[in-house]
Structure 1
Amino acid sequence: MNEAITRTVPEAITLQAVSKVYGKGRGAVAALREVSVGLPKGGFTAIMGPSGSGKSTFLHCAAGLDRPSAGTVKLGGTDLSGLSDTKLTELRRERAGFVFQAFNLVSSLTVSQNITLPLRLAGKRADRARLAAVLQRVGLTDRTGHRPGQLSGGQQQRVAIARALIADPEVIFADEPTGALDTMTARGVLVLLRETVDTMGQTIVMVTHDPVAAAYADTVLFLADGRIADSMHAPTAAGVADRMIRLGAWAR
């Protein structure tokens, strides 16, 4: 007799009853309200929602950039709530990668130096083979000596992605990574992010306002009023846009 075997995918990030409140008294604002969710290892999750829904706060709490007012956040098996600021900084440096809308590159450093900066800050030497592999993956092998001012916006974002990848992090957190790019350039960046999931098993959590960008993810979580209001697996741009329209009406 054959029995079905259930395989559970390990969670890269777990939020349990996470709330975040800014301010006190009558001026207090609840950005997250008892959010509980697990994000799978090796998955690509997009976070969407109307303005003020809590999506950036969600990412900041999940990444250990901000501490929740209540609840717990775990990266792998590590509970972030019990870590000191110093330990949180070390964890982010060693186990997380970050990609932001503004690229956040150091203008005086070359492409290679920008990519390896997190390693140098951690007191580690950059492995040449690892650097070469990352440069090839992001298509910047012929730009290693260039500085950010000599690169296009898309190339600068590829440098930021390479910088996030260099330490082989458990999770890459991307906050509006295509927000400053034109449509065609944004598509190239999204394809690159998708490929890091499919070929490297990388975990990505991406905040975006763009339904087209969200369609590159495996799952979209929709936030409204600080809560997870809905989710969509195998999303399409049209489906995400329709859900956002309905969420916007619901949030009002």
Structure 2
Amino acid sequence: MNKVYGGGRNAVRALDDVSIALPRGTFTAIMGPSGSGKSTFLHCASGLDRSTSGRVWLGETELSRLKEEQLTVLRRERVGFVFQAYNLLDALTVEQNVTMPFRLADRPVPYDRLRAALAQVGLADRHDHYPGQLSGGQRQRVAVARALIHEPEAVFADEPTGALDTRTGRQILELLRRIVDDLRQTVVMVTHDPVAASYADTVVFLADGKLAGDMSKPTPERVADRMTRLGEW
């Protein structure tokens, strides 16, 4: 796919002929220097934004053919999102935040799924708490539960540990790893942290909007070395 912002001499090519297959039931980390296009890739791959040209598929569905209303439904029902800033509503309880996808769709809340999602993220006893009563790590766990409750085909995480301390960030990464291993969930994570990337099955590197290779069975040391050669540090 390609993504271009602006036009004429002011055009910026954020993604340049990027073609990636992300197998179902795997954990993929997307890395690259600042401005490499990794967040743009995540937005286009998840349906948050449209590519300028090329095709994007989620399973058997080609996103580029969908109308805006259809994309909205797809994001709500078939994709989960986890962001650095949690994106929780402070006036709602944990339970209400997690079940938001169903409330927005005006569909009955499946309380069995709610209980399962909260148990998976270790918050079964926090369902009636508000975000302000939780730690940063607990709030990110709520965001993960919200991403999982509708059993999406893929979870897209954009710097999910960026606002967390090292210990708490590691717990969130272990949680993401566990939902891939235990639930066969598909996770795609943008990160700048070699340690975070080492939790993935595969790391895909971007540089200047182009693919710059990949790495299987990553370690923090190998990822850091590759990033150094991409000009990150």
TM-score interval w.r.t. the shorter chain? over 0.9
1:245 corresponds to: 228
Given the alignment, which residue of 176, 179, 198 partners 1:215? 198
Unaligned runs of 5+ in 1: 1-17
2:128 corresponds to: 145
Higher relative contact order (CA 8 A, sep 6+): 2
For the residues of structure 1 that align with 2:26 and 2:231, how far apart are their CA atoms? 26
1:226 corresponds to: 209
Query: TM-score scaled to structure 1, two decimals?
Result: 0.91
1:72 corresponds to: 55
Unaligned runs of 5+ in 2: none
2:73 corresponds to: 90
Q: Superposition RMSD on alpha carbons, in Å?
A: 1.0
Q: Give the letter for the 1:230 counterpart.
A: G
Between Structure 1 and Structure 2, whose CA radius of gyration is higher? 1
The offset of 1:171, in angstroms, is 0.2
- Are 2:175 and 1:192 equivalent residues in the alignment? yes
What do residues 198-236 of structure 1 show as CA deviations (whole Å, max 9, x unaligned)? 000000000000000000000000000111101000100
Identical pairs, percent = 66
2:84 corresponds to: 101
1:1-252 aligned within 5 A: 18-248=1-231
Q: Which runs of 4+ in 1 moved over 4 A?
A: none
User: What SS class does the counterpart of residue 31 from structure 1 fall into?
Assistant: strand
For the residues of structure 1 that align with 2:137 and 2:97, how far apart are their CA atoms? 15
For the residues of structure 1 that align with 2:108 and 2:199, how far apart are their CA atoms? 34
The offset of 1:133, in angstroms, is 1.0
For the residues of structure 1 that align with 2:19 and 2:127, how far apart are their CA atoms? 42
Q: Give the letter for the 2:47 counterpart.
A: G
Q: Which has the higher strand share?
A: 1
Query: TM-score scaled to structure 2, two decimals?
Result: 0.99
